[in-house]
Chain A
Amino acid sequence: MTQAQLPDPEQLAVRILRRERAAVASGLNLLDNKLAAARQRSAGLLAALSGERALNDGHLIGVTGPPGAGKSSLVSAMIREWRLAGRTVGVLAVDPSSRPELGGGALLGDRIRIKNAAYDEGLFIRSLANRNQLGGVATEVWPMSWLMLACFDIVVVETVGVGQTEIDIAEIGDTICYVAQPASGDTIQYLKSGIIEIPDVFAVNKSDLGAPAHKTASEISRSAPRQDRRDDWDYPVCLVSATMNTGIQQLHAHFDRHRSFLAAAGLLGKLRARHQSAWVVRVLKEEFGTFGIELVGGYAEIGRRLNETSTNQFEECERLRQQIISRFKSSD
Chain B
Amino acid sequence: MDSLQTKRDRPWLMRTYSGHSSAKASNTLYRTNLAKGQTGLSVAFDLPTQTGYDADSPLARGEVGKVGVPISHIEDMDQLFDQIPLDQMNTAMTINATAPWLLSLYIGLAQRRGIDPKQLSGTTQNDIIKEYLSRGTYIYPPGPSMRLIADTINYTVKHVPKWNPTNICSYHLQEAGATPVQELAYALCTAMAVLDRVQASGEIKPGEFSQVVERISFFVNAGIRFVEECCKLRAFGEMWDELTLRRYQVEDPKLRRFRYGVQVNSLGLTEPQPENNVQRIVLEMLAVSLSKSARARAIQLPAWNEAMGLPRPWDQQWALRMQQVLAFETDLLEYGDILDGSPVIAAKVKQLVEGARKEIENVEAQGGIIAAIESGYVKRELVGSHMQRLRAIESGELKIIGVNCFQETAESPLTLGSDGGIMKTDPAAEREQIERLQAHRKNRNDGEVQAALQGLDDAARCGENIMPSSIRCALAGVTTGEWGDSLRAVFGEFRPPTGIDIAIDSRAVLGKKDQVTELRARVASTGEALGRPLKLLVGKPGLDGHSNGAEQVAVKARDVGFEVVYDGIRLTPQQIAQAAEEEGVHMVGLSILSGSHMELVASVLEELRLRDLAKLPVIAGGIIPQEDGTKLAALGVSAVYTPKDFSFNSIMADMVDVIREANGLGRLGPLP
Contacts and interface: CB of A to CB of B under 8 A. Distances in A.
Interface of A: 1-2, 21-22, 25-26, 28-29, 32-35, 38, 97-99, 102-109, 111-112, 115, 117, 119, 124-127, 129, 131
Contacts of B663: 1
Interface string B74-108: 00000000000000000000000000000000000
A119 B611 CA distance: 14
B11 interface: no
Nearest to B375: A68
Interface stretch (B239-247, B398-406, B565-573): B565-573
A97 B501 contact: yes
B554 interface: yes
A111 B611 contact: no
Interface in B572-603: 572, 574-575, 578-579, 581-584
Contacts of B500: 107, 109
B501 A38 contact: no
A105 B557 contact: yes
B255 to A, nearest CB: 38
Contacts of A98: 563
Nearest to A245: B492
A111 B583 contact: yes
Given A33-B531, A131-B533, A105 B584 contact: no
A105 B501 CA distance: 12
Interface residues of B, number: 43
> Which of B495, B501, B565, B579 has the largest count of A CB atoms less than 10 A from its CB?
B565
Contact of A112 (B562, B567, B612): B567
B582 to A, nearest CB: 5
A103 B558 CA distance: 8
Contacts of A33: 530-532
A1 B493 contact: no
B578 A111 contact: no
Contact of B578 (A32, A112, A119): A119
A125 B575 CA distance: 12
A22 B568 contact: no
A105 B560 contact: yes
Contacts of B560: 103, 105
B564 A22 contact: no
Given A109-B498, A119-B572, A103 B520 contact: yes
A35 B665 CA distance: 15
B523 interface: yes
Contacts of B583: 108, 111, 125-127
B531 A34 contact: yes
Interface string B158-188: 0000000000000000000000000000000
B581 A127 contact: no
Contacts of A102: 504-505, 559
Contacts of A106: 558, 563-564
Given A107-B500, A126-B584, 18 more contacts: A1-B531, A1-B663, A21-B611, A25-B581, A28-B584, A29-B532, A33-B531, A35-B531, A97-B501, A102-B559, A103-B560, A105-B560, A106-B563, A107-B555, A108-B583, A111-B583, A119-B578, A125-B583
B459 interface: no
Contacts of B561: 103-105
B13 interface: no
Interface in B377-408: none
15 contacts: A1-B531, A25-B582, A32-B531, A32-B584, A33-B530, A99-B505, A102-B504, A105-B557, A105-B560, A105-B561, A107-B501, A107-B564, A119-B578, A124-B582, A126-B583
B524 interface: yes
B672 interface: no
Contacts of A26: 584
A127 B557 CA distance: 16
A131 B561 CA distance: 11
B664 interface: yes
Contacts of B523: 103, 105
A32 B532 contact: yes
B495 A112 contact: yes
Nearest to A112: B567
Given A21-B581, A22-B612, A25-B582, A105 B564 contact: yes
A209 B581 CA distance: 38
A2 B501 CA distance: 34
B533 to A, nearest CB: 7
Contacts of A129: 533, 563
A3 B524 CA distance: 20
Given A105-B561, A112-B568, A125 B582 contact: yes
Contacts of A2: 664
Interface in B518-572: 520, 523-524, 528, 530-533, 554-555, 557-568, 572
A105 B531 contact: no
Contacts of B520: 103-104
A245 B184 CA distance: 37
Contact of B493 (A21, A28, A32, A117): A117
Contacts of B558: 105-107
A296 to B, nearest CB: 26
Contacts of B581: 21-22, 25
A99 B504 contact: yes
Contact of B564 (A108, A112, A115, A117): A108
